Amino acid sequence: MNVELFRELMTADMLMGPNSLRILEALFQRYPFSLPAGENVLDLGCGKGLTSYAIAKETQAAVYANDLWISAEENAKRFADWGVGEQVIPVHQDANCLTFDAQMFSALISIDAYHYFATGATFFEEKILPFLKDGAAVWIGIPGVKDEYAGRSEELLPAWLGDEAYMFKSPSEWKAIIGTSERIAQLETWEMNCFDQAWSEWFATSHKFAVGDQQFFETLIKPYTCFVGIHVKIK
């Protein structure tokens, strides 16, 4: 994936946190992604749809761009403006109660969103797996804590994250949370290597939340946190 193709969209208006395209790029570097026309991808928690747009440009697949805070109408307008209105389907649903068809998706992608709704021990098996085809794969990139600080996010991060600190889990914690369903053929969680670039491109937007995050970068974000990569291959 060539992130530079999307540089003009890496702005305060479009980014909702550390550069989602850098996180996507790093996931695809470790686990390459391709899908033919006729297959369906779910971009879960897609925000303003930047990653959905990039996935559409990478593949011929239909991209279901699902988000909670951003309306389907708002995203539909952007997808039409970007020329992918036929390929990207905006959806407005809570990830806890999705209503897609069973085994509809060949791929699930979720960037900087999965930690908001999926820390429960049965979430992946009960809320995600039913929608994945046999042979499907999952790419997730989220902020979390480094493995040496596993279990300590609520002690270390409240000054920055307030009551959302509990969402920050380590790669090994996420491995346990995804679980051991019989349908899982392979599961890897790891500390991603896109950390500095994704954060610095967010700070460069000067978004008011980026300015707030930057105040904690040297004291909390850099010492304790990382981006957690999760890849699951379904049997």
- Tell me the number of residues near ligand SAM by CB under 6 A: 20
90 touches ligand SAM (CB under 6 A)? no
Q: Which two tokens stand for residue 35?
A: 């899908």
Interface region with ligand SAM, contact rule CB under 6 A, candidates 2-10, 39-47, 77-85, 216-224: 39-47
Q: Is 97 exposed, middle or buried (0-12, 13-18, 19+ CB in 10 A)?
A: exposed
Helix (H) or strand (E) holding 70: none
What does the alpha-carbon distance between residue 132 and residue 41 come to, in Å, rounded to a whole number? Answer: 10
Contact 133, 105 (CB under 8 A): yes
State which residue, 62 or 198, has the beta carbon closest to ligand SAM.
198
- For position 16 contacting ligand SAM by CB under 6 A, the verdict is yes
Closest to 109 (Cα-Cα) out of 220, 224, 23: 23
Min separation Cβ 86 and ligand SAM, Å:
22
| Residue span 100-129 as binding mask against ligand SAM, x where in contact by CB under 6 A, dash where not | -----------xxx--xx------------
For residues 17-55, one letter each, b for 16 or more C-beta atoms within 10 angstroms of the residue's C-beta and e for the rest, the string is bbbbbbbbbbbbeeeebebeeebbbbbbbbbbbbbbbbb
The stretch among 43-51, 80-88, 146-154, 163-171 that binds ligand SAM (CB under 6 A) is 43-51
For residue 234, what are its two tokens?
């379904």
Judged by beta carbon, residue 71 or residue 219, the one nearer ligand SAM is 71
- Binding mask 55-74 vs ligand SAM (x if CB under 6 A, - otherwise)? ------------xxxx----
Q: Which residue is nearest to ligand SAM (CB)?
A: 47
Q: Which residues bind ligand SAM (CB under 6 A)?
A: 16-17, 20, 45-47, 50-51, 67-70, 94-96, 111-113, 116-117
